[in-house]
Chains A and B, each alone.
Chain A
Amino acid sequence: MSVRVQREDFDVGAEVRRLAAGRTDIGAIVTFTGMVRSENDGRGIAGMTLEHYPGMTESELARVEAEAGKRWPLQASLIVHRIGALNPGDNIVLVVTASAHREAAFAAAEFLMDYLKASAPFWKKERGADGAERWVEARHSDDQAAERWARRQ
């Protein structure tokens, strides 16, 4: 179980190999990678900057990860989130979950992403293809995605 906030890119294959190294109890690994698109709400995107709340970010991610560990039998999990300047095609976030069977790994990965989006203190500022900058607005659908897990508690 670990979380990282970093400027550098991550290598999904290397992260999965490190997480599974020497383990023989893992039967299923699910990875989710979030990436920067060149279009958002019909607007061309040239890049974005990710700001966060150092300290609170790490504690929120650890809290969300611990909650996933309580709900599903996970052998391991990892959250990596990038900050700073990113371009279309760049990786933003990585979630990896490992379990004995696929159901827990799939469900926990989806839960981690939904809760991360609803509670981890990151803010995206997009730079449009026209050079204009704007803060990305939170989507109501993201809050709804997190709430459906709360109802299952």
Chain B
Amino acid sequence: MPVKIRYFAWVREKTGKAEEVLDLPPDIETVADLMTWLKALGPEYAEAFARSDVIRAAIDQAHVKPTASLAGAREIAFFPPVTGG
């Protein structure tokens, strides 16, 4: 299924792109699965997701945990812990 993936802050800088549309294999079921799959896409992804334990995710613009299901997701975002305020 084609899904829009967005990257912010240092995750964006390391992948070298702000967003892309990727066709995910059907066995990618959770956010954690997706991070593992992205890591194998190339050295820039491996670098971006090396600290995958600190990277946060959102599905359709709502915070989710790594165990969250991707079923029905239109937009998935990866970013560092937020630092606003």
Interface residues in chain A, defined as those with a beta carbon under 8 Å from any beta carbon in chain B: 34, 50-53, 55-56, 59-60, 81, 92-93, 113, 116-125, 135-138, 142
Taking a contact as CB atoms under 8 Å apart, the answer to whether A124 and B83 are in contact is yes
Taking a contact as CB atoms under 8 Å apart, the answer to whether B85 and A138 are in contact is no
Enumerate B39-85 residues with CB–CB distance to A below 8 Å: 58, 61-63, 77, 79-85
Chief secondary structure at chain A's binding surface: mixed
A125 surroundings in chain B (CB, below 8 A): 9
Q: A122-B85, A136-B83 are in contact. List 15 more A-B contacts (CB 8 A).
A: A51-B9, A53-B77, A56-B77, A81-B84, A93-B85, A117-B83, A117-B84, A119-B82, A120-B85, A121-B58, A124-B83, A124-B84, A137-B83, A138-B80, A142-B85
For this complex, 16 residue pairs linking A to B, each with C-beta atoms less than 8 Å apart, are A52-B84, A53-B8, A53-B58, A55-B61, A56-B61, A56-B77, A81-B85, A92-B85, A118-B82, A119-B63, A119-B82, A121-B77, A123-B9, A124-B83, A124-B84, A138-B82
A142 surroundings in chain B (CB, below 8 A): 85
B81 surroundings in chain A (CB, below 8 A): 137-138
B8 surroundings in chain A (CB, below 8 A): 51, 53, 121, 123
Rounded to whole angstroms, the CA-CA distance of A95 and B8 in the bound complex is 25
User: Given A52-B84, A117-B84, are A135 and B61 also a contact pair (CB < 8 Å)?
Assistant: no
**What's the least CB distance linking B81 to chain A, in Å?**
3
Taking a contact as CB atoms under 8 Å apart, the answer to whether B83 and A122 are in contact is yes
A122 surroundings in chain B (CB, below 8 A): 82-85
Chain B residue, CB-CB nearest to A59: B61
Rounded to whole angstroms, the CA-CA distance of A142 and B83 in the bound complex is 9
Taking a contact as CB atoms under 8 Å apart, the answer to whether A135 and B84 are in contact is no
**What's the least CB distance linking B4 to chain A, in Å?**
12
Shortest 3 CB-CB contacts between residues of A and residues of B:
A122-B84, A138-B81, A56-B61
Rounded to whole angstroms, the CA-CA distance of A51 and B13 in the bound complex is 12
B10 within 8 A of A: yes
Rounded to whole angstroms, the CA-CA distance of A93 and B85 in the bound complex is 6
